[in-house]
């Protein structure tokens, strides 16, 4: 596989993960503003309502899902626009995102004792995004 093809595959992976994250974040943001519960089990450890309606999901009154939506949109833009400096923005933005994900997982696991499946999808997309970002940032082109 040539380096151009590898870069294109990495870009497509980043776009796909961003789009999944955007769709997931839109759903959670709409639920947050509409004050409705997400369609998710609410028993035992899996309890999206407990997570999405907790005080931790709205720091300073801003839904975390909205922050995720903005983050995934920025990452999509960097993946699509092909700006020469985009790969150098991706890694710092990813680091900020993964630090936030780490905090949110800590809150779910140790403070709320509940897991939100939609949040886990966004966390997974964020974590997996390191693969295309490293390939694009450190490619030979």
Interior/surface letters 72-110, b for 16+ CB within 10 angstroms, e for the rest: beebbebbeeeeeebbebbeeebeebeebbeebeebbee
Please tell us whether the domain made up of 3-137 is placed in CATH 3.20.20.80: no
The residues near 110 (Cβ < 8 Å, ≥ 6 apart) are: none
Note if the pTM is more than 0.95: no
The model's pLDDT over 104-132, given as tens digits with 9 standing for 90+, comes to: 999 999 999 999 999 999 999 999 999 99
pLDDT of residue 65 exceeding 80, the answer is yes
């Amino acid at each position: 596989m040539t380096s151009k093809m590898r870069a294109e595959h990495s870009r497509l992976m980043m776009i796909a993960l961003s789009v999944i994250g955007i769709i997931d974040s839109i759903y959670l943001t709409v639920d947050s503003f509409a004050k409705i519960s997400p369609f998710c089990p609410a028993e035992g450890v899996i309890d999206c309502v407990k997570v999405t309606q907790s005080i931790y999901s709205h720091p300073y009154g801003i839904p975390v899902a909205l922050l995720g939506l903005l983050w995934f949109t920025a990452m999509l833009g960097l993946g699509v626009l092909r700006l020469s400096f985009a790969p150098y923005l991706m890694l710092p933005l990813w680091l900020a995102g993964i630090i936030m994900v780490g905090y949110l997982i800590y809150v779910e696991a140790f403070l709320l004792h509940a897991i939100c499946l939609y949040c886990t999808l966004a966390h997974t997309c964020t974590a997996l995004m390191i693969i295309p970002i490293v390939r694009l940032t450190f490619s030979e082109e």
